[in-house]
Amino acid sequence: MPQIILHIQNEPAVIGEVDEFPSFSDTMIGLRNPTRTDGKELDYLDQRVNFVVWPLERLNFIEFLPSGEEEEIISFVREK
């Protein structure tokens, strides 16, 4: 599953997994296994929660993290 970082207004950033990336017409975004970017649990969520939906109007921006496949791609390397 792709991972994203949500930058929520006036709150620490939240990282989690999405089933699919949001489209431009979406008004909400669902996140699986949400945690803070430092790995700590979100204080305002119950410990049993593993899926949360946020309205996009509360977000400043979204970061899309590369998948494992994209990280394995070797780019041009020049040796001397």
Tell me if 5 sits within 8 A of 61, measured CB to CB. no
Hey, which CATH number is domain 3-71, 3.40.50.1370, 4.10.95.10, 2.30.30.100, 3.40.50.300? 2.30.30.100
Label residue 8 by pLDDT band (50, 70, 90): very high
Give the bridge partners for 55, in sequence order.
28
Instruction: Provide the strand spans (E) within 9-65.
Output: 14-17, 28-36, 51-55, 59-64
Looking at residue 1, its pLDDT comes to 85
Output phi, psi for 69, to 5 deg.
-65, -40
The domain locations on the chain are 3-71
Structure tokens at 7: 């930058």
| pLDDT tens column, 32-69 | 999 999 999 999 999 999 999 999 999 999 999 987 65
Give the bridge partners for 62, in sequence order.
6
Structure tokens at 36: 């803070």
